Amino acid sequence: MKLKWIMLAMFYIPSSVLVAQPLSSTEQQKIDFLKSELVNSNCLFERNGKQYNAKKALKHINRKHSHFEDDIDSVSKFIELTATQSSMSGKPYFIICGDSKVESALWLKARLSQTQTNK
């Protein structure tokens, strides 16, 4: 009986729920902006206790972006899935600029917020 209801429900679920929605151009522009901010920051990126320059950090984030591409429908989801924490260890990523060490998600959200405030 349960199987019957599950099968019946599948016919009534809108296809938009089952198929990943493409990123809007606005969200893609925000992601591109954040990538540019990172690579031009001259900050270090800390992942699992090891520090990397911004170019290597971007390379890693781009790999994760490709892996999670179907799940990313917003800049927030991009930050969550690619630049917040290690998928393997669960440890948070950090951005280190001078003497300041901040979780990468906070750093990226702050950059995004600054740009939206300046518009």
DSSP labels for 22-57? PPPHHHHHHHHHHHHHHHTS--EEEETTEEEEHHHH
- Asked if residues 30 and 49 have their Cβ atoms less than 8 Å apart, the reply is no
- Is residue 72 within 8 A of residue 65, CB to CB? The reply is yes
Cβ(105)–Cβ(94) under 8 Å? no
pTM of the model: 0.78
pLDDT of residue 114: 84
What is the C-alpha end-to-end distance of the chain, expressed in Å? 56
Residue 16's pLDDT is: 45
Q: What is the pLDDT of residues 57-70, one digit of tens each?
A: 999 999 999 999 99
Computed over its alpha carbons, how large is the radius of gyration of the chain?
Answer: 18
Q: Compute the average pLDDT of residues 68-88.
A: 95
Contact 23, 72 (CB under 8 A): yes
* Token pair in block for residue 82: 């690619």
**Average pLDDT, rounded, for the chain:** 86
